Structure 1
Amino acid sequence: MKKTLILSSALVLAMLAPTAFAADGSAGYIRAEVGQSDIDVDGFGSETDTSATFGGGYWFNQNFAIEGHVGTLYTESVGNDTDVDLVSFGAGIAAKKNFGPAHTGFFIGGRVGIARLTFQVREDTFDVVDDEHSTKPYFGASVGYDFNPRFGLSLNWDRRQAEAGGLDADIDTIALGGEFRF
């Protein structure tokens, strides 16, 4: 709960940052990503599902940022109004190299951080009846295009790992992301 409060506070502070861009490209941002996760569990093969994450952070200059995210990487209905979810909640740093002026043109990027992945069993949509979680590093890479200093689109790949019930899982996600800077 404390980690959730800390990350939420950091995101709110990033959103309250000045709306004018500094000459060095510093800016707060929010980001949404929708894509496909491939979950490979020890000896059980792999499963795929739609992923959706939301996050935000602060670009200290045009190349480096701190960020946080929350989202679902996998949801499976197992019948009787019961779902199994894989939820990611994390914080990290991001780096980006634009091939135009600050926050414009084509770019390549990367990110690393710590994510808490939680496997949840839910009944009746919102009642969590069981969960297991693990906290591990994550990393990713992206390519994209910033249409102007305030908005860009990217194709992102992220790798997360999790442990639950004595099993290890590798989660690879490919997603289309949109970023709004303020």
Structure 2
Amino acid sequence: MKNTLALAAALALAALSTDAIAGQPFVRAEAGSSDIEVNYGRGFRDTESDTAVTVGGGYWFTPNIGVEGHVGTLYTEYLGRGYDLDLVTAGAGLVAKKNFGPDNTGFFIGARAGLARMTVQLREDDFDIEEDESSTKPYYGVNLGYDFSRRWGLSLNFDRRTAEMDGFDIDVDTVTFAGEFRFN
């Protein structure tokens, strides 16, 4: 018990270190392509592709570790008679990256993981949601990019999200190009 308390105290002090306090909030916008695979039982399988657009933000506690949140659309299909079918996502997780240049600039590689809630929505007249179904599952991704300065950079990202809704298994792979602006 004493060892657990000592470890908890050490972690709390580390979280309050000057590096953790001197972090950077950030905003990010991503646009690219999503590949959606839908399976139902053993007999039905369909694939689609569409444009993916997400926006997000978070906080870099250190130049290498942070937290993020995102919201966006992964798929939209016009069904006719004023109805649209949308697949939207909202999530939160951890991010990590390693820069290879001086002062946390230059080329970098990164990873992210967390929980994402995907929602299938049937909309009428662009705003009225008639029906929706949601699923919350882990997501993960990797990226590589270039930080032009400590304040902004560009990246190429791959993310994987999954969902299970009413017997349907949905897998969404996105490849996006992103811009990130960091404050401070």
**1:25/1:102 contact within 8 Å kept:** no
CA distance in 1, matches of 2:90, 2:21: 29
CA distance in 2, matches of 1:23, 1:53: 27
Aligned equivalent of 1:37, options 34, 39, 43: 34
1:71 corresponding residue in structure 2: 72
AA of the residue aligned to 2:80:
G
> How far did 1:107 drift?
0.2
**1:40/1:47 contact within 8 Å kept:** yes
AA of the residue aligned to 2:70:
H
1:58 corresponding residue in structure 2: 59
Give the TM-score taking structure 1 as reference length: 0.85
Give the TM-score taking structure 2 as reference length: 0.84
> How far did 1:23 drift?
10
Mapped pair 1:122 → 2:123:
yes
Q: How many residues align?
A: 161
**1:110/1:142 contact within 8 Å kept:** yes
Mapped pair 1:177 → 2:178:
yes
1:11 corresponding residue in structure 2: none
Q: Which moved more, 1:24-33 or 1:169-178?
A: 24-33
Residue segments in structure 1 that go unaligned for 5+ positions in a row: 1-21
Q: Which ranges of 4 or more aligned residues in structure 1 deviate by more than 6 Å?
A: 22-25
1:145 corresponding residue in structure 2: 146
**How far does the alpha carbon of each residue in 1:13-57 deviate from its partner, in whole angstroms, 9 at most, with x for none?**
xxxxxxxxx799721000000010000011322100001000000
**2:20/2:61 contact within 8 Å kept:** no
**1:62/1:102 contact within 8 Å kept:** no
**1:72/1:85 contact within 8 Å kept:** yes
| Identity rate, percent | 59
1:81 corresponding residue in structure 2: 82
> How far did 1:103 drift?
3.2
Task: Go from structure 1 to structure 2 and tell me whether the alpha carbon gap of 1:41 and 1:142 turns closer, same or farther (over 3 Å shift).
Answer: same
1:16 corresponding residue in structure 2: none
User: Secondary structure, in 3 states, of the residue corresponding to 2:101?
Assistant: coil
**1:25/1:103 contact within 8 Å kept:** no
**How far does the alpha carbon of each residue in 1:87-111 deviate from its partner, in whole angstroms, 9 at most, with x for none?**
1000000000000134310000000
Residue segments in structure 2 that go unaligned for 5+ positions in a row: 1-18
CA distance in 2, matches of 1:163, 1:119: 11
2:48 corresponding residue in structure 1: 47
> How far did 1:166 drift?
1.1
1:7 corresponding residue in structure 2: none
